Amino acid sequence: MSMGTAERHRAAEGDEAAGSGGAAEVTAPLVPEDSDGEIPADGRDARVPERREPRAPERQPGYRPLWREEPARRRRLPDPVRTAAVRAVLVVAVTLILAMVAFLCTLAESWLAFPMVLGSVAGTVVATWGVLDVWVTRQVWNQRHGVVSVPSSTARAVRRERRRARRQARAAERGQDRIGRRGGAGQLSHS
Q: What is the pLDDT along the chain (191 residues), one digit of tens a residue?
A: 455 666 666 665 655 555 544 444 445 455 454 455 555 555 555 555 566 666 655 666 777 888 888 887 888 888 899 999 999 999 999 999 999 999 999 999 999 999 999 999 999 999 999 999 999 999 998 888 765 556 666 777 778 888 999 999 999 988 888 877 776 555 555 55
Classified as helix, coil or strand, 39 is coil
What number of helices (H) and strands (E) belong to the chain?
4, 0
Of 79, 88, 97, nearest to 131 by C-alpha is 88
Phi-psi region of 21 (alpha: psi -120 to 50; beta: other; left: phi over 0): left
What is the CA angle 134-137-142, rounded to 5?
125
Model's pTM, two decimal places? 0.43
